[in-house]
């Protein structure tokens, strides 16, 4: 077996070990073998950091067999061409932080000049949609982490908009309708920036005067945005109505039922859910299950049941890694999501209904096992007590 053929064997062993398809080039000439190896990595993997890692490892094989002459240079040149041919997957953390940073710039410009930078909002919309289309499950988990770099208002506006857009994506709204919802969501709490910090951060009970000042943010920003003539009435209506309650107990107009716009109903749910799952400087985040349970106690009063049910079907309450207890008292780990029925995920049983620890692999698909359902989400300390 020639040296080049030995190298090919080494490369394929590495590929198979890392779940990358093997290659079988007719031409095993050194340069061609390197090109085919790199192209195989780029075709098989979309995450750039993983591409770079595997490309570096494969390059080491060539160095071991033939020395380091021009290998690094050729790798760099090939990577540029391959990135054009096979675009990389976006890094959802970087993309999410970019959106936060751009919205912080939007807020700063607004506070300093009262200018509404629509171009900046539209660029944020484009990237938020990319996040949702490519990394929906990852980003809904990541948004719960606390970031000191950004204000709670910046985080809240971006997070609640992501949640609202997930609703639109699930309902297959048109691009125009989705973008309108996004603009309304990105603007819905802009008026809160004019409320003094000492009132927003007050630990004790607000006076009637202070509470009325907070409630006025919906009307004040509605009037301000209307004067700009930059937004449709649909956007403005959602902004002014997002604190209305389904039973008519909200503000500013005490509207009820179908008198509240659809977009305002969506933003109201997203706004409330985000407030539950996001970490703040003064409290930890709640998991999705506890957050949703909190909202469900208020659903008949605050939210349109029809929209809330869609929201419930859109957000996975039991992301992979959740420890759950089933109605037969067995305990398991969520390993996968059934997109059609997100409330009924795949469960790896850890402890049986008889309290026996499972050593093997027992996977239960709740979508197929109708007699079983999740009754509780456990934290790690609760699981350790039961284990």
Please report the pLDDT score of residue 227 as a whole number. 96
Q: What is the pLDDT of residue 77?
A: 80
Q: Please tell me the predicted confidence (pLDDT) of residue 50.
A: 84
Give the per-residue pLDDT at 234. Answer: 97
Tell me the C-alpha distance between 200 and 105, whole Å: 21
Which residue(s) pair with 365 in the sheet?
346
Contact criterion met (CB below 8 Å) for 336 and 345: yes
> Domain segments of the chain: what residues?
3-85, 92-314, 323-386
Which of the listed CATH numbers 1.10.3720.10, 1.10.3210.10, 3.40.50.1980, 2.60.40.10 matches domain 92-314? 1.10.3210.10
How far is CA 309 from each of CA 72, 288, 305, 342, rounded to the nearest angstrom? 55, 15, 6, 12
* Beta carbons within 8 Å of 35's beta carbon, 6+ residues apart: 78
In the chain (387 residues long), the average pLDDT of successive 10-residue segments reads: 84 89 85 90 83 89 75 79 76 86 94 93 93 79 73 93 94 95 97 87 84 91 96 97 95 96 97 82 66 81 91 79 89 83 86 89 91 83 59
DSSP string for residues in 285-342: PPPHHHHHHHHHTTHHHHS-HHHHHHHHHHS-SS-TT-EEEETTS-EEEEEE--TT-T
CA separation (Å) from 212 to 114, 187, 208, 216, 218?
Answer: 23, 20, 6, 6, 11
Q: What is the pLDDT of residue 257?
A: 95
User: Helices 48-66 and 71-85: crossing angle, nearest 10°?
Assistant: 150
Q: What is the pLDDT of residue 380?
A: 61
| The pLDDT of residue 175 | 95
pTM, two decimal places: 0.70
C-alpha dihedral (281, 282, 283, 284), degrees to nearest 10: 20
pLDDT at 69: 63
Query: Which residues are paired to 363 by β-bridges?
Result: 348
Provide the pLDDT for residue 24. 87
């Amino acid at each position: 077996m020639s040296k080049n053929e030995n190298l090919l064997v080494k490369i394929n062993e590495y590929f198979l070990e890392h779940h990358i398809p093997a290659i079988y080039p007719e031409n095993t000439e050194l340069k061609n073998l390197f090109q085919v190896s790199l192209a195989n990595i780029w075709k098989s993997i979309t995450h750039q950091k993983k591409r770079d890692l595997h490309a570096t490892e494969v390059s080491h094989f060539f160095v071991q067999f033939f020395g380091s002459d021009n290998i690094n240079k050729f790798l760099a040149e090939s990577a540029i061409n391959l990135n054009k041919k096979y675009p990389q997957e976006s890094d959802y953390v970087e993309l999410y932080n970019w959106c936060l940073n751009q919205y912080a710039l939007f807020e700063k410009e607004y506070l300093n000049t009262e200018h509404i930078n629509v171009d900046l909002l539209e660029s944020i919309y484009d990237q938020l949609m990319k996040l949702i289309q490519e990394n929906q499950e990852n980003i809904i988990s990541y948004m719960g982490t606390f970031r000191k770099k950004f204000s709670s208002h910046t985080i809240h506006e971006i997070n609640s908009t992501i949640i609202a857009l997930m609703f639109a994506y699930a309902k297959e709204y048109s691009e125009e309708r989705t973008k309108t919802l996004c603009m309304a969501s990105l603007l819905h709490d802009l008026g809160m920036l004019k409320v003094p910090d000492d009132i927003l951060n007050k630990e004790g009970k607000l006076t009637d005067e202070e509470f009325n000042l907070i409630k006025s943010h919906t009307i004040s920003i509605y009037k301000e945005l209307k004067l700009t003539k930059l937004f449709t009435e649909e956007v403005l209506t959602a902004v002014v109505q997002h604190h209305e309650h389904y039973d008519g107990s909200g503000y500013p107009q005490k509207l009820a039922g179908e008198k509240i716009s659809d977009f305002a109903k969506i933003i109201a749910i997203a706004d409330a859910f985000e407030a539950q799952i996001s970490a703040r400087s003064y409290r930890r985040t709640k998991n999705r299950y506890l957050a949703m349970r909190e909202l469900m106690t208020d659903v008949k009063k605050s939210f349109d049941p029809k929209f809330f049910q869609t929201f419930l079907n859109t957000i996975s309450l039991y992301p992979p890694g959740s420890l759950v207890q089933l109605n037969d008292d067995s305990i398991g780990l969520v390993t996968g999501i059934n997109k059609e029925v997100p409330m009924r995920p795949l469960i790896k049983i850890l402890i049986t209904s008889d309290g026996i620890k499972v050593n093997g692999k027992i996977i239960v698909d709740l979508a197929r096992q109708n007699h079983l359902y999740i009754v509780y989400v456990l934290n790690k300390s609760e699981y350790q007590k039961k284990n």
